């Protein structure tokens, strides 16, 4: 199953400015916040994770008919390496026998993510 999402970085910047910590706590895991704020400008990083979470929700729903919450999805940043995505909680256990593949990209104004859930060994 495949999910894709694109988000305007300015939308995330405005939410961060308006709601601050409340926005961060509601959407992102502590690891995601720590990673994104390790950059001079955390907004593209936060926006890419927003897009990844939206894309994961879409792919997961297509496969299992279950709507994930953003806090159940964690994008693991790895400077210099591709990011990885994990589904937390009991829904994560549903992915046994599957592999979740993530691709992120961001430019000055937009961020995009693609998530694909594949049967293990089908790559």
Whole-angstrom distance, CA of residue 25 vs CA of residue 15: 12
Predicted model pTM:
0.94
Q: Which CATH class is domain 2-119?
A: alpha beta
DSSP secondary structure letters along 28-57: S-HHHHHHHTTSS--HHHHHHHHHHHHHHH
Annotated domain spans of the chain: 2-119
Per residue in 55-77, pLDDT tens? 999 999 999 999 999 999 999 99
Residue 117 β-bridge partners: 100
Per residue in 88-97, pLDDT tens? 999 999 999 9
**Other CB atoms within 10 Å distance of the CB of residue 90:** 9
């Amino acid at each position: 199953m495949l999910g894709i999402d694109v988000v305007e970085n300015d939308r995330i910047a405005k939410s961060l400015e308006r709601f601050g910590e409340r926005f961060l706590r509601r959407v992102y895991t502590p690891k995601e916040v720590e990673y994104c704020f390790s950059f001079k400008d955390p907004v593209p990083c936060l926006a890419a994770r927003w897009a990844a979470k939206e894309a994961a929700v879409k792919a997961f729903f297509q496969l299992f008919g279950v709507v994930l919450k953003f806090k159940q999805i964690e994008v693991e940043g790895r400077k210099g390496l591709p990011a990885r995505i994990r589904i937390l909680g009991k829904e994560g256990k549903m992915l046994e026998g599957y592999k979740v593949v993530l691709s992120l990209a961001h430019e000055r104004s937009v961020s995009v993510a693609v998530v694909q859930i594949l049967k293990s060994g089908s790559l």
